[in-house]
Amino acid sequence: MSVEAALPRPLPEGFLPPNCSYPEQDWPVLARQWFPLVCADDPLVKPRQVVLLNLRLAVYRMPDGIRIGRDMCPHRGLPLSSGRIEGEELVCAYHGLRFGSDGQCRLVPEKLAPKTADCFRITAFPAVERHGLIWTCLIPEDETWMPSISSEGENSPQDGVTSIFKLSIESLVDSQKDLALDELQRLLEELGFGSMPNALASSGA
């Protein structure tokens, strides 16, 4: 099992996405769950925007693995998903700041002096591969932790998704489980998985 984990830089305490459609008390709880965002073998030739729990994320592939960051350049807040990958760097499309695989800015164009690279770092989230998918968590308990399950007895990636997700949300109250399942369903449809795995849909997890 390969694990690709960026060095996450967390969201600030008490953060809520702009125009959050979730109840204020539920969002931080949902943000502690793990959700699949892209297929692990997705070439991601260009950075891509994926929305998770109302938060815009930029998903991109660096030479050492897939990275997930907030889709907001730390310079002026414009979307990093409009940028490009050059070698081992993500280059913002707007003023050309260059970021390394750890999300730290490596180069600020001279025209932006006296700002230095130390001033800018992407808000980043873990990117963990399980069952052919890349999963993330917006408020991880631990930098690389996510439910760990045996792959024995599983017949398909959907079985794996079901097992991980059930473990992930088992401590939630029913209304939060429903919100989490709706979000999972939306993401799975975007991934081309079609409908929710039966075991999840029928059990209400």
Two tokens, residue 87:
């070698």
Alpha-carbon distances of 152 from 43, 86, 160, 179, rounded to whole Å:
28, 40, 10, 29
Smallest distance from ligand FES to CB 4, Å: 24
Residue 94 near ligand FES by CB under 6 A: yes
Q: Which stretch binds ligand FES (CB under 6 A): 51-59, 75-83, 153-161, 180-188?
A: 75-83
* Contact call for residue 95 and ligand FES (CB under 6 A): yes
Q: Which residues partner with 66 through β-bridges?
A: 61
What does the buried/exposed string (b/e) look like for 109-118 if buried means 16 or more CB atoms within 10 Å of the residue's CB?
eeeeeeeeee
Least Å distance, CB 72 to ligand FES, is 9
Distance in Å, CB of 170 to ligand FES, minimum: 40
- Given the complex with ligand FES, which of 80 and 137 has the nearer CB atom? 80
When asked if residue 78 is in the footprint of ligand FES (CB under 6 A), the reply is: yes
How many angstroms separate the CA atoms of 80 and 84, rounded? Answer: 8
Give the shortest CB-60-to-ligand FES separation in angstroms.
14
Max CA separation in the chain (angstroms): 58
Site string for ligand FES, 97-116 (x = CB under 6 A): x-------------------
Residue 147 in contact with residue 164, Cβ under 8 Å?
Answer: yes
Residues in contact with ligand FES by CB under 6 A are 73, 75-76, 78, 92, 94-97
